[in-house]
Amino acid sequence: MRESEVMHTQTIMPALMLLQRPAFKTANLEYLEALEDYRKGDFGDCLTKCGSSFESVLKIICERKKWAYRQTDTASSLVKTVLDNTSLDNYFEPVLMIVATLRNRLSKSHGAGPNLRQVPRHLAMYALHNTASAILLMVAEVGEE
């Protein structure tokens, strides 16, 4: 679905092109699954897979740059590692963390408890666009674009 042609052209397509590289195979699969979940209307799973794709990109960057990280690190730890090793200022941290925050607060990746979570379409679309933008920013910052 291309509700926003500009966002699709400027973020989704460039991210998909970048993620086709062999090094980003897992992140690509996760992002493609997020897009498929969005198309099917499964917006909670879309958020989950956006977060997974972004975390995978961060781990791939750390691996390729030989920056210390653990496979169990969360997005928060990984973002801090990348920020500590690049020229991006720390004020980028909350901007980059929105993908993980949406996953943690709204997706199906954590139990909802007594109240079922209903993720609206527009938040899933925002997550897809934000994930693509964050991936493009991180990869460009480390010179992998």
Does this model's pTM top 0.75? My answer is yes
* Mean pLDDT, rounded, of the chain: 90
CA–CA gap between residue 71 and residue 78 (Å, rounded): 10
> CB count, 10 Å around CB of 90?
10
Domains located in the chain, CATH noted = 5-141 (1.20.120.330)
Q: Average of pLDDT values for 109-126?
A: 74
At 1-42, the pLDDT tens digits run 556 776 778 899 999 999 999 999 999 999 999 999 999 999
DSSP category for residue 9: I
- List Cα–Cα distances, 87 to 40, 83, 123, 142, in angstroms: 39, 7, 30, 9
